[in-house]
Amino acid sequence: MNPQRPSSNLPALTLAAIGVVYGDIGTSPLYALKEVFAHGHVPLTPENIYGVLSLVFWTLTVVVSLKYVVLILRADNNGEGGLIAMLALASQAVKHRPVLRRRLLLLGIFGTAIFFGDGVITPAISVLSAVEGLEVAAPGLHRYVVPITLVVLTALFLVQRHGTASVGKLFGPVTVLWFVVLTVLGVVHIARNPDVLWALSPHHALIFLTAHPGIAFIALGSIVLCVTGAEALYADMGHFGKRPIRLAWFALVMPALVINYFGQGAMLLTHPENVKNPFYGMAPSWALYPLIGLATAATVIASQALITAAFSVTKQAIQLGYLPRLRIAHTSVKETGQIYVPFINWSLYGCIVLAVVLFGSSSKLAAAYGIAVTIDMLITTLMTFFVIRYGWKYPWWVCVAATGFFFLVDLMFFSANIVKVFDGGWFPVAIGAVMFVLMMTWKQGRHLMRERMRDDAIDLKSFLEAVFVSPPTRVAGTAVFLAPEQGVTPNALLHNLKHNKVLHETNLFVTVKHHEIPWIGFNKRCEIEPLGHDCWEVTLNFGFKNDPDVPEALALLRGRGVQLEDMETSYFLSRDIVIPTLAKGMSMWREKLFASMHHNASGAADFLSLPTNRVVELGSKVEI
């Protein structure tokens, strides 16, 4: 179980979940129904309106309520959710099937890479669609939409370094107000045309799909926008727990969304001229500007939740060895989960600005949005199958029945979006592809480094035996040598003996291991083995959501034969310089890319929370 989960009561957790979890899916009414009809591919007829509304309702029911809320939320990794947690769960479930495990890892990492593409599109399309309400209020303001959007996004990314603890308290209440407004707008128009509620019947969806398969196929590519953000249900499970997320969905979020979509449909039945922006078309003229302000606030909250998730996913990927170390700043002294990653923050910002300027409208961005969402949904469904089959040991037919239907639904939506690759879908896929290459290059490069260092390695126990045949001068204090692998003599020790010709009174050879589980408690943090002559081999275990703090972990050794005094302890690290070669390994361009990533990675001292005034770095070269 996540030790950092808030201990607040159910109402407080539910309110917080509404603000964080449902911001993205909650702002979908701004653009989802508009995209179905706005381009003229789907004729605006009463039959099509009923069919589309029915598909929207049953998409929310099947994809969100049944797949994510009922099934996927059960697949928690020690209380944690999200694609990386699911990847770790699936890889553990098939650990005795190495070929299958490697393929699942590739699939999961690709899904994680695509998430970064989604992280670019979501803030861009959400804020753009909110600000586009100005065009409805005053068509002459059209030229100001993009500049205002960029100003809002710039302000959002500028405040990231200060953390979200203070403004985060407003997320829940503002988002609740947003859902209340969605409900009120929808109820007003449904009351004027209550016949629209017949669209709740699935036969309208079936008639639409069978009578006009070509039109329906095009419509599905936009209808999927009503479930963008569904992955957040699973990703944020560790922060709030299953019950608050489920309660928020069924008690407020889903009813508000359905009522608003049906309200838009009811309005279009009587006012088809509002098809260019049905959401803002529902509002009376006096309420347009306040609604634009509230919508902008709601989309900023949705964007904030995704930016925070990008920071969290980056940290997890670093600790699982798929990204180089980056500088991570903690923005709260109370909540360790609140972090800020400058490189990711400004990389996201640059890509989002490019997306806003390049596409210029939410309609053009919508084509880019669906493909990233549907890829991650497909991958999550596939991962779930392997978890329940090999992890939970359910019978084959139960696993196929539980995930097969969802897989077909996801595949249908993915197919409807794949045709939009050249209309903008290439953008998030390109971002995902770049991230995938970076992640796999880093992982493979680290593997090649370890192999090369293992080939040149000296066994630690044998080396110490040889050293103590004619021991060097011992100096007071404790030396902590960070070792890449257990049983291997660290390069820092070799260089220290070569150049300084001394050995400390107490020597710890520490290997830091990151595991495919979210949290590892202090009771399992340290493993220690005596090597004699006041030398110990220590293994420190961290989950991929733990903050790796070596001094804090080593303090647990007090009382286990090791006496550590903070001011008398020095930390020795090896700063490796990677030299690309034409030998076997990766292609030369990837080796050069890895060498550049390795050179620009944040220092191990910061990543491992070592005190900077007691760190000694000794350089060495490694050819790969």
- The whole-number pLDDT of residue 333 equals 55
Per-residue pLDDT tens for 220-266?
A: 989 999 998 888 788 877 778 888 999 999 999 999 999 999 999 99
Answer for the pair 610, 548: CB distance below 8 angstroms, yes or no: no
Please check the confidence at residue 198 and state whether its pLDDT lies above 80.
yes
Instruction: Give the span between the Cα atoms of 15 and 414, in whole angstroms.
Output: 32
In terms of phi and psi (left: phi > 0; alpha: psi -120 to 50; beta: otherwise), the region of 487 is left
How far apart CA 44 and CA 48 sit, in angstroms, is 6
The torsion angle over the Cα atoms of residues 183, 11, 25 and 266, rounded to 10 degrees, is -10
pLDDT value of position 605: 87
Q: Which of 119, 387, 362 is nearest to 229 (CA)?
A: 119
b/e per residue 89-110 (b: at least 16 CB within 10 A): bbbbbbeeeeebbeebbebbbb
563: its two tokens:
């006496």
**What pLDDT score was predicted for residue 65?**
95
10-443: which CATH topology? Amino acid/polyamine transporter I (1.20.1740)
Q: Count Cβ atoms within 10 A of the Cβ of residue 138 and give its class: 0-12 exposed, 13-18 middle, 19 or more buried.
A: exposed
- The beta-strand segments (E) located in 436-564 are 473-482, 502-515, 526-532, 535-543
325-338 pLDDT per residue, tens: 888 887 765 555 57
Handedness of CA 16, 338, 380, 36 (dihedral sign): positive
Tell me: pLDDT of 268 over 90: yes
pLDDT digits (tens, 9 = 90+) for 392-437: 889 999 999 889 999 999 999 999 988 888 888 899 899 999 999 9
Maximal C-alpha separation, the chain: 95
Question: DSSP secondary-structure letter at 77?
Answer: B
Q: What are phi and psi of 483, to 5 degrees?
A: -110, 135
Check whether 166 has a pLDDT greater than 50. Answer: yes
What pLDDT, on a 0 to 100 scale, did the predictor assign at position 404? Answer: 92
Q: Tell how strand 526-532 and strand 535-543 pair up.
A: antiparallel
Retrieve residue 324's tokens.
Answer: 């180089």
Question: Is residue 170 a contact partner of residue 16, using CB atoms and an 8 Å limit?
Answer: no
CA–CA distance, 163 with 308 (Å, rounded to integer): 10
pLDDT tens digits along 578-622:
888 877 778 899 999 999 998 888 888 888 889 988 898 877 777
Q: Which residue matches tokens 């900023």?
A: 300
The pLDDT tens digits for 444-482 are 999 888 888 888 788 999 999 999 988 899 999 999 999
Domain ranges for the chain: 10-443, 458-623
Global confidence as pTM: 0.85
